Structure formats: structure tokens, C-alpha cells
Structure 1
């Protein structure tokens, strides 16, 4: 490898790290402002100032404007950081894949889902409230619709994993299993149980693990899904 090629790769890595750090700063600043002030009252100029970046840098990172900014905040909050690493490659998912026992797999999945819901609940709540108040905001409506499509698509991963292991209930197709995972892990359920019903997060996690196991797994001596 030539010295010039090494320098190019080093320079590229630095640019990528700088871009990642910038996205993280923007998402952190925007999320803080949106939760405190609401989506509608948070301006792009305020976010740029809070993040310590130029307004043009903000628009370069979020070319779709404010809805794109909202999606960036959601995605980075969901993942926990701005690293370009798919959820499927993250340690929590690998631990679930490596666990041999299906019941324990779902307990680990419930723990991961609870941690994600804890992070994402304030942002998701702000975006839902803004969308309800501004039904004509097509950009924001598209962001929320896209989030739900992504959640449903993402739910296919654990469903197909259990299916490949032969752990799903008899007669339960992976697609239908994914739909149940999607509904059980909805942010709204987490909110109702922890905020309205007063459950602790530990109680929610235990409930989610039990519900997932009951809905998805073959029960000893059971007749399977109809």
C-alpha cells in the first residue's frame, strides 16, 4: 500500500468521524429543544445555534428540512448513537442471536426493547403530538408513517430468527409473528403502562417478555396457534 493511499484512507476516516460527530451534535441539540419546546416551536436556526454548527451545515445534514431533522433525531435516539452501524450488528442483537433458549432470547429482546423505548418515548411523543396538531404537514406525517413501516419491517428479524430455529408456535407464520412483535413493542403501550398505570420499567420488561413468549413460542403440551 502506498503512502498516498494510506493518507487518503486516513483522511476519509477523519471526514467520516467528523460527519458522525456533527450528526450526533445536531441530533442531541434538536432532540433537547423539541422535547422542551415542541416540534413546531423549534426552529432550524435555534438547532444550529444550540449544536454549534452553521445553518448551512444543518441543512446539509438534513436536506429535507425540519421533517428530515426530526427523522435524524428519532434514528439516532433509537440507535443510541450516530455510528453507521445497523441494529442487527449491535451487541444487544448479537447476544439475542447467540442465546440458545427461545424464552431467554425473548427476555433479552424485551430488555433491549425497554431500553430503546425509554430513550425514544419523549421524542416519539413530541412528534405524534405535532402530527396530530398539524395534519396538513405532509413531511412530518410521512416521517411518522415511515417510522411505523420501519418498525414493522424490523420486527421480521426476530420473527424469522425464531422461525428458523423451529421455535414459533405451530401454524404461526413469521409475518404474523412479526405483526404481534410490532404491536406489543409499540411506544404507546409503554407509555400507557408506565405513565398511566404507574408500572415500573422493570415490570413492563417482565410483562413484555411474558407476552412475547406466550404469543410466539410453542407452549409445552399446547395445541399451537390456530
Structure 2
């Protein structure tokens, strides 16, 4: 096994500076808007010279893209989301109900960190071809990851009759879309916990032969609105 060399002092300082710039920029993007934020403001918030921001990133777009990548996985380690411990747990367990629970909970954590940034990226698609390409890359990666999860459930023989791995991937990709999360948590005012409960129920009902008996009950739901959180 190849030894991994410890990170040197200069590399640690450079990484810390990039992290500070990214976190400062994301705070400004969400707080006052992407278009209104300048590199000078980012530099001031991060406590660095504007030339330092230019040296590390060059422009706001690059900062936003790196920030989204960091928030998706939760840190700046070079480990893809699909290779994270929680994702691997969902992709290796032989218990379909547990796999769904882990996948839903992990996805909720990701959305809690990255949803406002994805909306900034999506809003910029029509005016910026580079942002449009980044959005497409993000969408393709999401679909690839959800397809891997769907295939795992298919391999376990957990999918309902008539639900193929491809159809399951389509369902998961749609339910776990940033648009769905934004619509429910921002426009409809649901809490992230409400979103998690509803997504869990919708996913198990759609993919498995019947409702998952381990599915958490919807707080305050009646027979007329049992699919919607109270």
C-alpha cells in the first residue's frame, strides 16, 4: 500500500486560505445575492487581499463551483460523495429498508448544506454558458449516483414487480431533485424533517412491493392527507 505523505505547512496554509475564501464567498452569495457580491467584498470578508482571491480562483464562478463541491460532500477532502462512508453503507447493506433510510438521511444532510447554492447555480444557467455546463455536470453526477443506488436495490431483489432499475433511478432522481427540495422547504414552508419523512414514504411506496413497515409515521397526518407532513 502506498504511503500518503503528510501535508506540509505551506500546503496547509494554502488550503486554509482557500477554505476561508470559499466560506466567506458562500456566506455573501446566500446573504446578499451572487450578482451583488464582488471579489473585493469576498476578500474583505475573508481577511485577504483581493489579489489573493484572484490568485486562488480568478473569478466568482470558480469559487461558487468549488463551494458547491465542498458542501455536497461536507468537507474539502478529495473523496467523492459516492465513496463517502454513509453512501457506501447504503450501497452495501443487504437490508433494503436500511439502505433507503441511509440514502434519504444522507441526502437531507447534503441539501441542508448545498440547496441555496444549487439554486444560485440554476438561476444563472440562462445567462452564463459556463454555469449552464456546471449545472449539467451536477445533474449528470446526481443521476449517476442515484442510478447506482437503484441498481443496488434491484440486485437485492427489493423492487416491486414491474419496477426496473432504470425506472427506479428515474423515480429517485426526481424525488431527490433540488427543485423538489426547494419547492417543499422554501415555497411550501416544510421543515427539512418534513421533507425527509415525506420522501422516505414516497420512495418506499414507489419502489417496494408495498409501504415499508419501518417507514416513520407522518406527524399529525390523517387518512385524507397521510402523505403530507402536518
TM-score, structure 1 normalization = 0.79
Aligned mates of 1:147, 1:9 — CA distance in 2: 31
Structure 2 alignment gaps of length 5 or more: 212-230
**Aligned twin of 2:128:** 137
Q: Distance in 2 between matches of 1:16 and 1:171?
A: 53
SS of equivalent to 2:5: helix
Q: CA deviation at 1:56?
A: 4.5
Please tell me whether residue 114 in structure 1 is matched to residue 95 in structure 2: no
Q: In the aligned structure 1, how far is the partner of 2:137 from the partner of 2:54? A: 20
Other-structure match for 1:207: 198
- Distance, in Å, in 1 between the alignment partners of 2:165 and 2:92 is 20
Counterpart-to-counterpart distance in 2, 1:160 and 1:61: 39
Q: Is 2:16 the partner of 1:25? A: no
- Asked if the contact 1:177–1:216 (Cα under 8 Å) also holds between the matched residues in 2, the reply is yes
| Kept in 2: contact 1:21–1:82 (CA 8 A) | no
Aligned to 2:5: 9
Residue 189 in 1 paired to residue 176 in 2? Answer: no
Report the CA distance between 1:13 and its aligned residue. 4.8
Pairs aligned (count): 209
Could you say which residue in structure 2 is the equivalent of 1:96?
A: 90
Q: What is the SS of the residue equivalent to 2:185?
A: helix
Q: Is the 8 A contact 2:124 2:132 kept in 1?
A: no
Query: Residue 160 and residue 42 in structure 1: after superposition, are their counterparts in 2 closer, same or farther (change >3 A)?
Result: same
How far, CA to CA, are the matches of 1:165 and 1:17 in structure 2? 43
Change (3 A) 1:97 1:147: closer
Deviates more, 1:171-180 or 1:28-37: 171-180
Instruction: Give the distance between the partners of 2:62 and 2:203, measured in 1 at CA.
Output: 33
Report the TM-score when normalising by structure 2.
0.78
Distance 2:106 2:60 in 1: 29
Higher relative contact order (CA closer than 8 Å, sequence separation 6+): 1
What stretches of structure 1 of length at least 5 have no aligned partner? 1-5, 221-226
Partner in structure 1 of residue 223 of structure 2: none
Distance 1:163 1:13 in 2: 45
**C-alpha distance 168-49 of structure 1, shift in aligned 2 (>3 A):** same
RMSD between aligned residues: 2.6
